[in-house]
Each structure stands twice: as structure tokens, then as C-alpha cells.
Structure 1
Amino acid sequence: MRKVILAVSLILVLAVSGCAANPDNMDAGNPQKAEVTLWVTEDFGSEVLFQEKVPLEEDDTVLDVLARHVDVETEYGGGFVNAINGLQSAYSNVGGAGRRKNDWFFWLNGIQSNVGGASYYPKPGDNIWWDYHDWQHLTYMPAVIGAYPKPFTSGFGEEEADMPWLIMHNGDTKVLALKLAGYFGNQGAKVDLVPVDDSHILDRERPTLVMGTWSQLALLPSMNDLVKNLDRTGMFVKPVPDGLVAMGLDRTERKVYGSGSAAIIATGTGQGDQTPLWMVIGVDQEGLERAVRLMTEEPERLKFRTGLIVTADKLLPVPIGE
């Protein structure tokens, strides 16, 4: 049975700093028109350094695409991105008091890669997102929401996202699940709606979205396991009986958001997980409705977010900055 708790290791950190697989990446009929989206940001998307749709050439790796548009310095045989536009790793080759855990990481269609950027061959339409951030309290984030509606519309790795992904709901949230399914159908994604089932969360075979109020989801052992081990999930929202706790990067609890609020967050079982788990967790039904409206009517507002709390008057990216 797949475990949601993630192992931590520096080796994986170095691997992910230039990361993912090797598919046939070109449209043979019209290769000159193949494009990918390239983002370069800092501090979990809070500062955007580069964002464009760029050409994808034959046999391009993620690193090839990056190096054509920004200034890149690499180490460890070219597999580790040490600097982009002069913003350097504060950990690699740095000693003494000046050493800090700040490095470059990337996600492919919202999934953190399990191989280096020099080894991943992206497909036309992929989203490549590089971000420079502090990993003192975070070795990696297996999945993020900022490339939405990817990975559900594009997948990760060699295989296309042909298998329908799951939306799990209970009786009270089925109408909202149907609204989400309609949106994804319009994006060309295949979706299956099923009742909430703990086994689908623990042993996922495809990308999965579970939605409900925390009072409903707290009945699932898998969801409680996630909350008890947040520091190993890459998530910075802690559901509690009376609301949603927004957390800082240092894992301190900053503020509780109550009625009318919801969280949109994602995780996975590790780097390169092609079956990420997305969660839409409402404090109440009003919060759930607010989150689903955002995802179906204003999806562009999820852009560059690693996770999000939705309230009546604002969108709060998480983790919370200093």
C-alpha cells in the first residue's frame, strides 16, 4: 500500500534541482510550432522573473529550454542548476556562516520531477516551472497547484493523461463535483466521479481530487495521517475543527481562517508521482462553493500558487512569507 508520508534526503534535493523522464517530445507533423510554457520565479511564485510560451525544438531537454531564455550555470556534470540569471544556490559550494538552504527546484505540469533537467524531454504544451526558494523546513513539494488545470490535462512523464482522473465527493458535494467535472471536460480532460473512499486516497492509480468540508474528510484515516505529518507533505495548510490554519515556511501557525473559507492544496507520495492528490477542503459548504467558483470561473488566479486559502475577500498563497 502506498504511503503518503515522504522520506527526506539531500540526495533527492540535488536530484530535483534539475529534474523528470524521456517521452517523444515533438509534433512530427509541425515541429516548428511546438511550444512549452516556461516560468522562472522566486519564493514560491511570489516574484516572477520570467514567464513566456517558448519554442520546443527537437530533442530538447528541460535544461535546453531553460538555457535558451535565461542565463544558467550548472554543476555536477550539468545536472544541477546552480544559478539562473546570477541568482545562485546558497548551499552548493558555500561554506561557513554564509551557507543557507536556498536552491533552484522545478515542477513539470505541477509535479516535482524525479530526474534532472538535463534528462527530462518535455512534450508540446507542457508547463516548466523553476522556483528559487528556502528548503530549510522543506526538502521538496511533490505537487503544486500553480500550473492548473495541469497535470490533469497533460500528465507527467512518458505517458499522456489518457486514464480518467478521479473527483471524490460525498452526497453534499456532488453538485460541486459535477461543476468541476464539466470544467475539466471542456479542457479535454477525462474525469470519473466517485464517492469518497479512503482506499482511493491511499493507493492511487491516477490523479485524484478529493473535496469536502473538514468535518467530512476528518472521518478518513488517510486525511488525518496527512495532517499529522504535514512537514513531510509539502503542504502549508492545517485543517482544524474551527477553520484552516495558514502556516509559514518555518511551520509556525500564522492565522486561522474560519467560516466561508477553503483550501486548495496538493501533495504526492514523492518526486515524479504521476498520481498526485489534490484537496479542496472547506470549513463549510460556503467555502467549498467559493473554491469551486474560483477553479471553474477564474482558474488563472491559481497561477504561480503552490497552495492557496480562499476567503470571502482574498486569496492567501501558502506558505505565508515573512
Structure 2
Amino acid sequence: MKRFLLFLLILVMACTFIGCGEKPSVGDGKVQVIVSKGFGNEKLSEKAVDVAKDTTVIEVMEENFNIETAYGGGFINGIDGLKSEFTGLKKKKKIDWFYYVNGILSEVGADEYYLNPNDLVIWDYHDWDNNIYGSSIIGAYPINFTNGHDGNIYPIQILYTKRYAKEGNALLKYLKDQGVKDIELVDLEQGELENLEKNSIVIGSWEELKKINYIKEFYENGNKCGLYFKVDEEIKGLNNKGETLKTYEKGAVVASVVKEYGGAASMWLVTGNDESSIKKAIKLLYENPEKIKGRFSVLVTEKEVINIPIKN
């Protein structure tokens, strides 16, 4: 009996140190990869994959997708058979692959960006003929706020106008529950919207927000920074060339821009021309965030949530 108990003790100790009946760990965490085309309008693939420490974007892609590289291996020229229509061709079209880590367009080659557990990488195949890149997209929410980009995790201010205080508080609670530590809810008039070391989520009607010069400047240059909507008496969804494709009497948008070129701090706008639509758009962020996953920005109406820019 003593010999049997001694054997059990040794067995338990062995299982504790080397694992018993379990596969060895294959990495330090997981990252998500979404592959899409047309500015998030068509999702082609989505995978959650294991990563070890110091894993680059290119390594994840090599191990989990059929890729073709160019320019020394740091540039992805093709994914699962869908190839650049520019690189190495005589009849060139400006259509290529672009990648975003946690919602921010990366400015380094895929072989130079080192991933962290829970990062979300979006590869999108799209036209850049008008040289509009849209450096910030909403499709990595809420990971863009919890993980940041390239090690930069910024504090967050939720800036709201008074009629959206209830929804602002619910959004604050949701993001805290997701692990965001440095976040505050502030009246729009008291906020630090132009602070380049803070992410801003701005909630209010377009009638209110268009009076703020900082926001107005981005809006008026939307074709350069990737804002694909217009608001007047109606709300309009644009394509990537800035042309109106859909018009609604009432609606709201959720969109984002980087505050400065090359930066990672972003300004999110939750706005529109209808109070109930704006509240619906805010609730999307704390009740149904999966509905915006992988999207560039969205237009929210009474009946639908559509990706913008809109596909031609």
C-alpha cells in the first residue's frame, strides 16, 4: 500500500511539472487575423492563431495563409491567390494589400511588426488610386483601445453632449470591463480633444459637432483622411472616391481618424442627424461590437448597419 501511495505521489508531481495528458503550449497567446477586400466590404477569411513571443505579422501570415511576398520579403504581394495589380506588372492598377494592427494602418513592413497576445490584424485588398489610405479604422474594436498600436496604449476620453450622458456612461462601463484602465467620461466642452496623447470618442449630433473647428477641419478634408460620410438635412454614405452612393433621411455614423499623420492616437466620431440613430450607434459599441468587426466605418440607420466606404 505504501509503495502504491508513493507511486501516486511521484505521478502527481510528474504531471505538475511536465503536464499529464495535455499538449505542450504552442505559444504565448493568440492573435486574430481578418482578410478582406474592398475597404472591409467583403470578408474573405478570419482566423484565431497561436503566437509565441517575438512573432512578426509576416510569420503569422506565412504559417496560416498561402502568401506571396515582394521587395525582399517584407511586403505581401498576394494572399490565397489574390495578388497585387501593381507590383511587377506592366499594366499597373493601384490595387494592393494593406494591413492594420488594432485598427491603425501600419507604416512598417510585415516582417518588422512584432505582435502581442490578443492583437487583431486586418489585411484588406483595395484600390489606392486616389491615394487615400484611411489610417484608422473601427474594425478592431475594442482591441484598439485595450492593446494599442506598436506598444502605444493611450488614455481615453469619452466626450459627450448632455443628451447622450446615459449612453456615454454605459460605454465607459463596457470599456472598463474589457480591461481599459485609463478612461474618463467628460462633457465635450471640458475635454482635451486636440491632445495627441489621448484617444477621443466624441458623441453628439452633427449640428453640435460641426461647430468645433478641430472636427470640422477633418470633416472638410474627409477625402484625404478617410471619412466616408456627409451630413446635412440627410446623411450620405460615400464610396472610396468620395462619391455619394446612398442617402438616408435619418442616420448616424461611427468613424475614426488618426489625430496626426504617422500617429496612433485616434478620434472616433459617433454622430448623425437623428437622436435615436445616434443612440443606436453608441449602443452598438457596448451591446453588439461584433457587428462592426472588420469594418472600416459604419453608417447606422433604423433598419441596417452598413460598411462605409460603400462598395461601388
Superposed CA deviations along residues 133-160 of structure 1, whole A, max 9, x for unmatched, are 111124311111111112111111124x
Q: What one-letter code is carried by the residue in structure 1 that aligns with 2:31?
A: V
Q: What one-letter code is carried by the residue in structure 2 that aligns with 1:186?
A: D
Q: What residue in structure 2 maps to residue 220 of structure 1?
A: 212
Of 139, 149, 153, the residue aligned with 1:146 is: 139
Q: What residue in structure 2 maps to residue 174 of structure 1?
A: 165
- 1:112 matched to 2:112? The reply is no
- How many residue pairs are counted as aligned between the two chains? 287
Q: What one-letter code is carried by the residue in structure 2 that aligns with 1:279?
A: L
Q: Once the 2 structures are TM-superposed, how far is the Cα of residue 47 of structure 1 from its aligned partner?
A: 2.4
Q: Once the 2 structures are TM-superposed, how far is the Cα of residue 274 of structure 1 from its aligned partner?
A: 2.0
Identity of counterpart residues, as a percentage? 31
- 1:42 matched to 2:33? The reply is no
SS in 2 for 1:292: helix
**1:199/1:114 Cα in 2 relative to 1: closer, same or farther (>3 Å)?**
farther
Distance in 1, Cα, partners of 2:189 & 2:58: 40
Q: What residue in structure 2 maps to residue 71 of structure 1?
A: 66
Of 179, 192, 195, the residue aligned with 2:187 is: 195
**1:103/1:126 Cα in 2 relative to 1: closer, same or farther (>3 Å)?**
same
Q: Once the 2 structures are TM-superposed, how far is the Cα of residue 199 of structure 1 from its aligned partner?
A: 7.5
Distance in 2, Cα, partners of 1:308 & 1:267: 13
Distance in 2, Cα, partners of 1:291 & 1:139: 25
Q: Once the 2 structures are TM-superposed, how far is the Cα of residue 43 of structure 1 from its aligned partner?
A: 1.3
Q: Once the 2 structures are TM-superposed, how far is the Cα of residue 265 of structure 1 from its aligned partner?
A: 0.5
- 1:278 matched to 2:268? The reply is yes
Q: What residue in structure 2 maps to residue 22 of structure 1?
A: none
Q: What residue in structure 2 maps to residue 59 of structure 1?
A: 54
TM-score by length of 1: 0.84
Distance in 2, Cα, partners of 1:118 & 1:233: 26
1:245/1:254 contact within 8 Å kept:
yes
SS in 2 for 1:274: coil
Q: What residue in structure 1 maps to residue 223 of structure 2?
A: 231
**1:61/1:165 Cα in 2 relative to 1: closer, same or farther (>3 Å)?**
same
Q: Which has the larger radius of gyration?
A: 2
SS in 2 for 1:183: helix
2:40/2:307 contact within 8 Å kept:
no
Instruction: Note the residue ranges of structure 2 that are not aligned, 5 or more in a row.
Output: 1-24
More helix by share: 2
1:114/1:271 contact within 8 Å kept:
no
Of 233, 236, 256, the residue aligned with 1:266 is: 256
With 262-271 and 76-85 compared, the bigger mean Cα shift is at 262-271
Q: What residue in structure 2 maps to residue 26 of structure 1?
A: none
Per chain length, whose mean CA-contact separation is higher, i.e. which structure has more relative contact order (CA < 8 Å, sep 6+)? 1
Q: What one-letter code is carried by the residue in structure 1 that aligns with 2:271?
A: I
Distance in 1, Cα, partners of 2:158 & 2:307: 23
Q: What residue in structure 2 maps to residue 316 of structure 1?
A: 306
Distance in 2, Cα, partners of 1:176 & 1:154: 23
Superposed CA deviations along residues 18-70 of structure 1, whole A, max 9, x for unmatched, are xxxxxxxxxxxx77241111111111222222211101023211110011111
**1:263/1:53 Cα in 2 relative to 1: closer, same or farther (>3 Å)?**
same
- 1:80 matched to 2:75? The reply is yes
Q: What residue in structure 2 maps to residue 253 of structure 1?
A: 244
1:198/1:220 contact within 8 Å kept:
no
SS in 1 for 2:179: coil
Of 113, 116, 127, the residue aligned with 2:120 is: 127
Q: What one-letter code is carried by the residue in structure 1 that aligns with 2:110?
A: G
Q: Once the 2 structures are TM-superposed, how far is the Cα of residue 113 of structure 1 from its aligned partner?
A: 0.9
- 1:288 matched to 2:281? The reply is no
With 210-219 and 84-93 compared, the bigger mean Cα shift is at 84-93
TM-score by length of 2: 0.87
2:237/2:245 contact within 8 Å kept:
yes
Of 88, 94, 116, the residue aligned with 1:93 is: 88
2:132/2:225 contact within 8 Å kept:
no
Q: What residue in structure 1 maps to residue 149 of structure 2?
A: 156
